[in-house]
Amino acid sequence: MQLWWLFVLICPCVGSAFPATLRSIDDESNAHFDGESHDAAIYVVNQLKQMSDSGVYESIELSRILSSEKIDGGIYHTKYVFRLRLESPLFVSRRETEEVNIIFMEDNKGQRSFAIDNFPQMSNHAIEEYRQHKFSDLHERRKHLFQYIRSLPVAL
């Protein structure tokens, strides 16, 4: 009987400290995850793609959501803790996929942010190629812009 009371006293505290939802998948599909967690994972990968100066992160794709924990953050925000498998042919490890841990937060107004434990490391050769391609594209756009400006009639 005394053990039962101990359980009742501890349960409310423990219940609020644990994630509201823990999901994991065993097959190669992300179909077991709800729409909100899947959308959050897609958002994180799309933001990650834009984070490198050279553009090399554009080669990263979401391979799989390995786990997703939805943590109810109270009245101000919702938080997901993800373990994602990313794929790219340009990882410095030369593996096709790498796994990362990510925390995603969204407040009640729709503001989104995320934190990642370790950014994927890309090969130096790939970074340099992406950088050169980026600068050659910029050079071409600038060249076309100046050609357009020169073709405009001069008003005196």
Using one digit for the tens of pLDDT, what is the confidence trace for 31-89?
Answer: 456 678 889 999 999 998 988 878 888 888 999 999 988 887 677 788 889 999 999 88
Query: How far is Cα 33 from Cα 44, in angstroms, rounded to an integer?
Result: 15
Confidence label for 9 from pLDDT (cuts 50, 70 and 90): very low
| pTM summary value | 0.64
Domains: count for the chain:
1
Give me the domain span that covers residue 71.
35-148
Query: What local confidence, expressed as pLDDT, does residue 33 receive?
Result: 60
Q: Is residue 1 part of a domain?
A: no
Domain CATH number, residue 71: 3.10.450
- Least confident range of 3-12, 57-66, 94-103, 114-123: 3-12
